Structures are given as structure tokens and as C-alpha cells.
Amino acid sequence: MSNIAYPAGLFTTVTGPLTLTSDETGDTPIPYGSVITHWRNGITEVTSADNQRILLAKDSEAATVTTVTGEVKPVTWIYKLPQGTTVVTNSEPCVTKMMLDGNVILTIISKGENFMP
């Protein structure tokens, strides 16, 4: 991550996976239709379907979990989705859509540039 000076209070510390479905203690709830953007400099931004920022987090300050493959990842990269969700990758590079019953319930974007406030 770069050494950009960000304004105080800009970031949320994420302690649990980003979830559309769970009420488990520690999970980070996000609404259906959210867009998760992972910026090159280790910032994760979550916006609502109408482009209102929900949270902004530094991946380096998020809690971590070990995945089923043994990889340790920040929880900003872990998503809990409803059963029946399908993953759709299309011709847009670095964009993944999660679909349920024909509706986009989550969009994940990997940006090649740095987040700038």
C-alpha cells in the first residue's frame, strides 16, 4: 500500500466477512446490490446499488481468515452469499457479478489503479 496521507476517520476496520445473508456476530452486513471495489493499493470500498459509500477499509488493517485452500486473506476479500448464488464473469475485465434468481445481488471489481479520496 502506498504512503498516502488519508483524512482521519475515513476508514472502517472490518472484523468479519462481508455478508448479504448472515446475522452472525462479527460479520459485516452489506445490502443486496452492493458493489465491492478492490483498489490496487489495498483499499476495499463498498458502495450501495445507488453509489452511496457504505464503507471504506484498508485490507492491511482488516481481520484475516484462513480459506479452505489454506490461504490467509483479509476478511474484506471474503463474501458470504445466499444459497443458489451463481458467479458470472463477463467480457469486462476484472468485474464479477453474483446473481440470484436473475438479479445481480453483488458486483466485485478489481481496480488497477490506486484509491484516491
Q: What digits encode the pLDDT tens for the residues 81-115? A: 999 999 998 766 789 999 999 999 999 999 888 88
Q: Phi/psi zone of residue 70: left (φ > 0), alpha (ψ -120 to 50 degrees), beta?
A: left
Domain ranges of the chain: 18-109
Calpha distance 62→49 (Å, rounded): 23
Calpha distance 110→40 (Å, rounded): 8
14 φ, ψ (degrees, to nearest 5) = -95, 125
For residue 2, the model assigns a pLDDT of: 52
Radius of gyration of the chain (CA): 14
Mean residue pLDDT of the chain comes to 90
Q: pTM of this prediction?
A: 0.89
